[in-house]
Every structure is written in structure tokens, then in C-alpha cells.
Amino acid sequence: MNKLFPSQAQPRRRKALKPEDVDKLGQALMTLAQELWVVKDRQLVTEAVLAKRGIDISEEISLYQPDPELDAKLRAARQALVLKLTQDITGEYEPLA
């Protein structure tokens, strides 16, 4: 059995971003940031409105288990976001479902 010494190892080839891919990656990050902000904004507004009415939902949200209908809706929204990000990175766009 031969041992592999560092001096004998071949460097691994990594896929790296090409210069033309940087803009696509930047767009994907902006899309993600926009989506994240919308969610954070709505969450903070919702919590503020409920708190104003004396309703603290923090723990209930942490323990909540969605029913099959909501779970399907969440899954579809997640898949749409992943598709949009993938399209931004590749630059290949298709209509969102």
C-alpha cells in the first residue's frame, strides 16, 4: 500500500466563479436580501400590531406545527425562491410557477 505524501498529491480542481458570473451572483444575493427584508418587515409589523393588542405570540410561533395545507404552501414558496435564486445565478430565466 502506497502512502500519499503532500509532495505527491495533485491539486484538486475547484469550480470557481468566472468573472461574468459575479454579476449573476450579485443579483441572486440582492434577490435574497429583498425577500429576507420583506419577511422581516412583515414579521416585525405583525408582532407590533399584536403586542399593541396585548397578544404575545413569540412562544406559540416557535412551537407551531403547520397543517398539510400550510405546509404545502410554505414548500411551494420555498421552491419558488430557490428557483428564482438559481435563475439569477445561471442567468437562465423561466416563468415562475
Residue 85's pLDDT is: 77
Question: Helix, strand, or coil here: 14?
Answer: coil
pLDDT in tens, 1-22: 455 555 555 555 546 667 878 8
pLDDT in tens, 61-90: 889 999 999 999 999 999 988 888 788 777
pTM of the model: 0.54
Which positions ≥6 away from 38 have C-beta within 8 Å?
A: none
The DSSP H or E segment spanning 83 is helix 68-90
Residue 14's pLDDT is: 47
- Look up residue 64 and give its DSSP letter: -
Cα distances (Å, whole numbers) of residue 65 to 41, 60, 70, 81 = 22, 10, 9, 22
Between residues 37 and 87, the one the model is more confident about: 37
The cell numbers describing 68, all together, are: 398539510
